[in-house]
């Protein structure tokens, strides 16, 4: 029995498809969900969502949000941001990472809120970097682009 998986951000539906296994980053650590998992609600933390469908695998960079595992093998992830490997550009990520590191160094002794924001931005860029690097190491077959109506996904 496959898992019906949906990953949504405020801007778009990133992924809506049947999958076999999903590993998610939560406050309690990584959680792997298989079909018929018990119902669960958890906070999603910045990290990599790992999806498997048959022999295909895909990673998605997320920056936080919530996870809902429902009966009948259905999972909904509401993420602040989410990006699939093929959407990411290493040069853009490296520049954003450098900006976040610079801002952290500038605010380390002055403003706690600015420092925390810079640290969160750096954490997000590190996750994006991991997913992008894995995607460009070679031709990685990814799971089909999400099965969505044409107007739901700009990718």
Could you tell me the mean pLDDT of each successive run of 10 residues in the chain, 155 residues long?
92 91 93 93 93 89 93 92 83 81 78 77 79 63 52 48
**31 shares its domain with 11:** yes
* Residue 20 domain-assigned (yes or no): yes
Residue 39, pLDDT score: 93
**63 shares its domain with 117:** no
pTM of the model: 0.74
Considering only CA atoms, which of 84, 132, 19, 85 is closest in space to residue 6?
19
**45 shares its domain with 18:** yes
**75 shares its domain with 106:** no
> Domain range for residue 130?
89-134
Residue 144, pLDDT score: 60
Look at the chain and report how many structural domains it folds into.
2
* Residue 144 domain-assigned (yes or no): no
Residue 124, pLDDT score: 80
CATH at 65: 2.60.15.10
**Rama region for 126: left / alpha / beta (φ>0; ψ in -120 to 50; rest):** alpha
Contact call for residues 30 and 24 (beta carbons, < 8 A): yes
């Amino acid at each position: 029995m496959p898992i019906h998986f949906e990953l949504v951000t405020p801007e778009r539906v990133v992924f809506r498809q049947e999958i076999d296994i999903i590993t998610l980053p939560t406050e309690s650590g990584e959680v792997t969900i298989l079909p018929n998992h018990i119902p669960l609600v958890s906070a999603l933390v910045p990290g990599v969502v790992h999806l498997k469908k048959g022999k295909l695998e895909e990673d998605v960079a997320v920056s936080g949000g919530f996870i809902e595992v429902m009966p009948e093998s259905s999972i909904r992830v509401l993420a602040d941001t989410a990006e699939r490997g093929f959407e990411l550009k290493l040069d853009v990520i490296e520049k954003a990472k450098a900006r976040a590191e610079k801002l952290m160094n500038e605010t380390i002794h002055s403003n706690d809120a600015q420092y925390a924001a810079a640290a969160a931005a750096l954490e997000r860029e590190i996750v994006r970097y991991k997913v992008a690097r894995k995607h460009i190491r070679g031709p990685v077959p990814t799971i089909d682009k999400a099965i969505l109506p044409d107007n739901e996904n700009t990718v």
